[in-house]
Chain A
């Protein structure tokens, strides 16, 4: 059997958050640069230039890209050969606490939705666990902004609504959201599963690297059509018009009930901060037990 030390989890979560709040993936930056060069709308061009300039300043001056340093979302893939003698979720939250306090990040979490009392350390994170083969643990982490999360949506369609129903629902959601979710967006789409699973799939979708090819052909064709139609909406950067409403669409699908066609769309703002790390388990010496 294998294990991973609690301290390594804490230190990894902290480091991933501190890095992700001020840097974007190269692929995302490339897409913004191409978008800036392709925009003809002068305001759209100006917004994209300022998004890129902001990224330079965030790195050079060590300032978060955005003041909304988010609610922390964490997907954990746990190798089945790993064992833990501590609370993994608690360790992740210790890492979050250290990052937000030591890193001067904004604490945006309230204890109860109605009493609105701040937890003062940005915990708890939203954590999802999955089991996978092997002896490694992969952490996918994203400080997710509230503005784009607020404009995300879920609908239980009828099977008869079909592909067209899904496309219309997504286009309506993005058109109605306008500038509020801070476009250019990454659009995460979940289809299938059931009520809670489809939202989970949409969230997973926004964390998939944009350059990764979608293997399911139905999903891939849906992504291509959505990408084209979303960018024809003329929402544009910050809702001011233009041909860059999204820089990527990812669809994740799952089997579902014969009566259902669940669809969820999770919007990711242009400050698409995320990080991923794989930790290799350390073999445990079982000599004492033999």
Chain B
């Protein structure tokens, strides 16, 4: 039975989750992948203001296909998370709590999740058509020039994911 989560997801809720738990997320989440992470971390290093407040937020690693006319979003499954490993600690330091992507992460990342009492969820890769059905709002909030890699604020209803790294840094991946 899936557990229902509503964003923002706070530490006390995160602590109730175990690796392997299937969850359904509702509320606002932000999209960012390789190029947006690079820009966010450059902004942090240069002490510039970020395009959105990361505190207690959820970032989903995705670059969707363009929405067809009349549609909210195109196909929108997760991309591989390991490429974000070296960027994530900077964002967690600014308050980011939950990351959603696919695949395993580095040992160093697992330790950072424990350090910040965060959470790493996986969505199933390659099912972007199904996942698109959970998105009810889609608005670009930053870096529009990055096209599919722009930062979007999505409102989702019952977005399915699996707990892959818990707040103590335990990983579902061997």
Q: Any chain A CB within 8 A of the CB of B62?
A: yes
Given A66-B75, A239-B173, is A104 in contact with B66 using a C-beta cutoff of 8 Å? yes
CA distance A104 to B126 in the complex (A): 17
Q: Any chain B CB within 8 A of the CB of A278?
A: no
Residues of A58-74 whose CB lies within 8 A of B: 58, 61-69
Contact B133 A106 (CB under 8 A): no
| A residues less than 8 Å from B136 (CB atoms) | none
Contact A67 B103 (CB under 8 A): no
Contact A66 B173 (CB under 8 A): no
CA distance A67 to B148 in the complex (A): 10
Contact B162 A67 (CB under 8 A): no
Contact A67 B74 (CB under 8 A): yes
Given A63-B74, A104-B66, is A239 in contact with B129 using a C-beta cutoff of 8 Å? no
| B residues less than 8 Å from A61 (CB atoms) | 129, 133
| B residues less than 8 Å from A239 (CB atoms) | 103-104, 173
Q: Any chain A CB within 8 A of the CB of B122?
A: yes
A281 to chain B minimum Cβ distance, whole angstroms, is 35
Contact B67 A63 (CB under 8 A): no
Q: Any chain A CB within 8 A of the CB of B125?
A: yes
| B residues less than 8 Å from A53 (CB atoms) | 127, 130
| B residues less than 8 Å from A22 (CB atoms) | 129
Residues of A156-207 whose CB lies within 8 A of B: 178-180, 182
CA distance A126 to B88 in the complex (A): 33
Residue-wise, chain A 1-42 has the 8 Å CB interface mask toward B (1 for contact) of 000000000000000000000100000000000000000000
Residues of B36-82 whose CB lies within 8 A of A: 62-68, 74-77, 79-80, 82
Contact B104 A67 (CB under 8 A): no
Contact A182 B102 (CB under 8 A): yes
CA distance A68 to B68 in the complex (A): 16
A63 to chain B minimum Cβ distance, whole angstroms, is 4
B68 to chain A minimum Cβ distance, whole angstroms, is 5
Given A54-B129, A61-B129, is A107 in contact with B148 using a C-beta cutoff of 8 Å? yes
CB-defined A-B contacts under 8 Å, sample of 15: A51-B124, A51-B127, A63-B65, A66-B75, A66-B77, A68-B63, A68-B79, A69-B65, A104-B67, A180-B80, A182-B102, A239-B103, A239-B104, A240-B172, A269-B126
- Show the binding face of B for A, using Cβ within 8 Å: 20, 22, 35, 62-68, 74-77, 79-80, 82, 102-104, 122, 124-130, 132-133, 147-148, 160, 162, 172-173
